[in-house]
Amino acid sequence: MKRPGPAFGRAFDDPAHGFLRPVDLAAAQREHDGLVETLDRLGVRVHALDHEPATDPDLCYVFDPLIVGPDGAIPLRPGKPNRAEEPEIVASWLVDRGAPIAGRIAAPGTVEGGDTVWLRDDLFVIGRTLRTNTDGARQLASIVGGDTRIVDVPYWKGPAELVHLMSVISPVSDDLAVVFLPLLPAALWEWLGNLGVRLVEVPEAEYPTLGCNVLAVRPGVVIVADGNPATRRRLEAAGVEVHAIPLREVGENGSGGVTCLTRPLLREA
């Protein structure tokens, strides 16, 4: 995880970053610290990425620049221009700690981690979006191998309110997922049905407040953004243990939720 720093505090100064309002950096850091404390309390070992970019506020959303596949780390190539250096920053951190690199996304391909979802250990889905193009999706599918499928994610409101694949689905366990049905690709909806996955539907009113951005710490135990009571009730009714934390400044302001703020590296069996 990467704690928000001075570049995050200045993010609203450049409209290209897409932040909703001027950043209260102290509040963002308190929220981030609260997420780290919650993960630690739930038994997750958290590693800190201490690199501080001069002008890139988005590195704290460490889910996007790199993914981890069966054969090692895969540095991606974000479609958002200011994030171009992030994949090698995160990859270098991992290589220094002995992690293998399984492959890299090369130009003209673009891929962001938010457009990737593991539905099963052997079933990987890539969303083709405004930040993950056809070439990048095909490169990533080739590197990951196995049963990898590509779906198109709706344009919706365009680049200003970008939709990642993980903006519309968050797996909770092998048989349960949180979804925002109005933007869920039809093919993905069909696959979920074929797999017998139950759906927890996020109401439209809770989509802007990160209701669909849910982090499964382990199957059936999740962390969510506070302020989404209907989604929380539906999760609990499905038997899920829910931990809600405030994320208005570090999450909602930059359009990144609890999943975006983490990069899972290794899950113990």
Give the CA dihedral 46, 64, 226, 179, nearest 10 degrees.
-120
Q: How many helices (H) and strands (E) does the chain have?
A: 6, 11
Number of domains within the chain: 1
Exposed/middle/buried for 157, CB within 10 Å: 0-12, 13-18, 19+?
exposed
Please tell me the predicted confidence (pLDDT) of residue 82.
93
261 CB-side CA count, 13 A: 35
Residue 45 lies in a domain: yes
CA distance 98 to 92: 10
Give the residue among 202, 204, 198 at the shortest CA–CA distance from 239.
198
Per-residue pLDDT tens, the chain, 269 aa: give them. 999 999 999 999 999 999 999 999 999 999 999 999 999 999 999 999 999 999 999 999 999 999 999 999 999 999 999 999 999 999 999 999 999 999 999 999 999 999 999 999 999 999 999 999 999 999 999 999 999 999 999 999 988 788 999 999 999 999 999 999 999 999 999 999 999 999 999 999 999 999 999 999 999 999 999 999 999 999 999 999 999 999 999 999 999 999 999 999 987 65
Residue 155 lies in a domain: yes
Question: In whole angstroms, how far apart are CA 20 and each of 110, 147, 231?
Answer: 25, 38, 23
The CATH code of the domain that includes 200 is 3.75.10.10
Q: What would the two tokens of residue 222 be?
A: 């999740």
Please tell me the predicted confidence (pLDDT) of residue 160.
78
Domain that holds residue 25: 6-254
Residue 32 lies in a domain: yes
Residue 265 lies in a domain: no
Residue 261 lies in a domain: no
3-state DSSP call for residue 182?
helix
Residue 1 lies in a domain: no
Residue 262 lies in a domain: no
Please tell me the predicted confidence (pLDDT) of residue 269.
54
CA distance 212 to 171: 10
Residue 116 lies in a domain: yes
